[in-house]
Amino acid sequence: MTGRLEGKVALITGAASGLGRVGAERFAAEGAKLVIADMSDGDEVVAAIEDAGGEATYVRTDVTDPDSIKAAIEHAVETFGGLHVLYNNAGVMLGDDDDPVSTSIETYERTMDINVKGVLLGCKYAIPAMLAGGGGSIVNVASFVAHMGAATPQIAYTASKGAVLAMTREIAVIYARQGIRANALCPGPIMTPLLAKFLSDDSKRNRRLVHIPMGRFGEPIEIANGALFLASDESSWMTGQSLIIDGGITSAYVTPE
């Protein structure tokens, strides 16, 4: 059976660990050739993908640095002959991100730099490569908080994800007739190390769980499957949209007991 991403080259930022790594391994299992773009060492992910019969390469990438992102895209084209999928997954949720009064300007600027500028730079350099190859799919990671306020204050993170959602729509409209699709992936709370560090006690954990109608946190593979759909031709008539995978959070007016 042909994989859902057979013949496609995909670059995933922040793919050395967490959601990015799960996505990379899922994409590779469906036939994609993977570029692991991360500040952290991605050789372990490459080895895992190759051991499973896939193809992958790692390039050290700082998503806030235009030259670094440009070099990563060029690496993808030089190594695999093109670029068909950009999965802008890299992002941060800083520990001192709180309400507008107490959140430092430094935290706000750092969050926006990685979460928004990083997405913009990925698109800036990936789009020409995609156009040269006849088109492609851009998957930008936003969040369910781009659609509603967060239960726990995180003003910089929420603002950054709202910006990603708006940017995605704009990009989708600009390139809709040139073979490039752009969609936002909006996860709810997923049980990753990034979230776990904020759930240091039962009260913090329960404060989030009470807002999830399904009564549990999401699993990384559930987000990877959503990203796979957006990256593949199965979503070929979908662009400028927000795919929310949140256990029902954004659908709930009254929180179930």
pLDDT in tens, 110-143: 999 999 999 999 999 999 999 999 999 999 999 9
Residues 134 and 40: their CA atoms lie apart, in Å, by 31
Cβ count near 100 (within 10 Å)? 10
pLDDT at 198: 64
pLDDT at 22: 98
Bridge partners, residue 56, by sequence: 34
Q: Which residues of the chain have pLDDT under 50?
A: 256-257
Please state, in angstroms and as integers, the Cα–Cα distance from residue 218 to each residue in 63, 96, 136, 205, 235, following that order: 26, 24, 28, 13, 22
Q: Give the domain 9-192+219-245 fold.
A: Rossmann fold (3.40.50)
Q: What's the burial of 66, exposed, middle or buried (CB within 10 Å: 0-12/13-18/19+)?
A: middle
Nearest to 152 by CA among 191, 106, 105, 210: 210
Residues 158 and 147: their CA atoms lie apart, in Å, by 9
The residues annotated with a catalytic role in the active site are 157
Evaluate if pTM is beyond 0.85: yes
Q: Would you list the domain boundaries of the chain? A: 9-192+219-245
pLDDT at 210: 83
Q: What's the burial of 231, exposed, middle or buried (CB within 10 Å: 0-12/13-18/19+)?
A: buried
pLDDT at 254: 52
The C-alpha angle with vertex 85 and arms to 245 and 88, in degrees rounded to 5, equals 55
